[in-house]
Copies of this chain bind each other. A is one copy, B any other.
Amino acid sequence: MAKKKAAILGSSGMIGQRFAHMLNDHPYFDVVAYCASDRSEGKKLADVWRLSDLDTIPGLSEEVIQATATSALIKEGVEVAFSGLPSDVAGPIENDLAEAGIAVFSNAASHRMEPDTPILIPEINAEHLASVEVQKRRRKKGGFIVTNANCSVTGLALGLKPLVDKFGFTEIDVATYQALSGAGYPGVSSLDITGNVLPWIKNEEEKMGLEGKKILGAWKNGRFVDSPVNIMASCARVHVRDGHLEAVFIRDRAIPDAKTIAKELRSFRAKPQKLKLPSAPEQPIIVMDEPNRPQPLLDSYAGTPDRARGMATVIGRIRVTEGCLRFYLLSHNTIRGGAGGSVLNAELAFKEGVI
């Protein structure tokens, strides 16, 4: 199949930078436009980017930023847009592109809770992609929006999926230890976080509850049906660059032993693995046996041992005691919980012929 021409929206930001790296030399997509606000127009990517842990790709950072204009993108033949726009401006821009016939894969929260827009995590709810057909009908020119989930619920939902399916757990308590990159740049002041924990992230706990229900729910008869899963979150920011760590507690009458839980998690495979999507991790849920893992610094990206490059959920310290299952879960917030989530979504849509 021919590659689809793609644009990156918000390409000057942290998520945009991730998009640019993940989509470089991509087998399905060919990025022809790096868009950002007028303020960055004409600058090179090198002048606005700040991530340090990305491999230098020859030539990439020399690309010149263009303004975000639907008509120009259409003229350039763009069929797919990856949006790393901030949520406060993403809404109308993404909608505009979809109306113009473009398939938008968005990291922004703006459209997540709309009745015909999926919060897609291909390992969990590939069938939700069918909802874009409703969008296509609603919109005149075949465009649509697919969102990825909030960074703190993405990895959690992925880790919960096999457990919810197999054991029917519904009551989840989760305390998060979230990374600074989740707040964007400049984001959190050094004076606030140095030697500190900030026990509040605006709207985050509510999003985890609501998005969790939609993600783990069903797409039936043309509408989304919520899952009974009930995520009660307490969200805190810690002094970490990348990688959201989460302490998960599940209370249930009948909980199998830790070994059974681990086996269920480790053996989980789903559609992205079967389709061998380019960005899909071989093993979506990695279970570590070491007593002191996973750690954000060591395991967010590597996803030891199989180097999932930020696309797997890493789980460790599985304990079952008197009807309470506890474990720690780690997910890379700007890869699987950000750009990587949308890239995987677009790969699924491409492979399934939706775009």
Binding site for B on A (CB under 8 A): 46, 50, 52-53, 56, 171, 173, 175, 177, 180-181, 185-200, 230, 232, 234, 236, 238-241, 245, 247, 249, 251, 291-298, 302, 304-305, 307, 316-317, 321-322, 324, 326, 328
Contacts and interface: CB of A to CB of B under 8 A. Distances in A.
Contacts of A241: 191, 194-195
A321 B190 contact: no
The 7 closest A-B pairs by CB, nearest first: A175-B175, A186-B189, A175-B247, A196-B297, A234-B247, A173-B249, A200-B292
A247 B247 CA distance: 10
Nearest to A46: B305
5 contacts: A52-B297, A53-B53, A188-B189, A190-B192, A199-B294
A186 B192 CA distance: 8
Nearest to A292: B200
A56 B199 contact: no
> How many copies of this chain does the complex contain?
4
Contacts of A197: 177, 238, 240, 245, 295-296
B189 A238 contact: no
Contacts of A291: 200
B175 A302 contact: no
B186 A191 contact: yes
A198 B189 CA distance: 15
Contacts of A180: 190-191, 194
B240 A296 contact: no
Given A192-B190, A197-B177, A241-B191, A232 B292 contact: no
Nearest to A328: B199
Contact of A239 (B52, B189, B194, B198): B194
Given A56-B307, A239-B240, 8 more contacts: A50-B298, A171-B251, A173-B249, A175-B234, A194-B239, A196-B240, A197-B245, A234-B317
A244 to B, nearest CB: 10
A187 B295 CA distance: 18
Contacts of A188: 189-191
Given A56-B307, A191-B187, A317 B238 contact: no
A227 B5 CA distance: 60
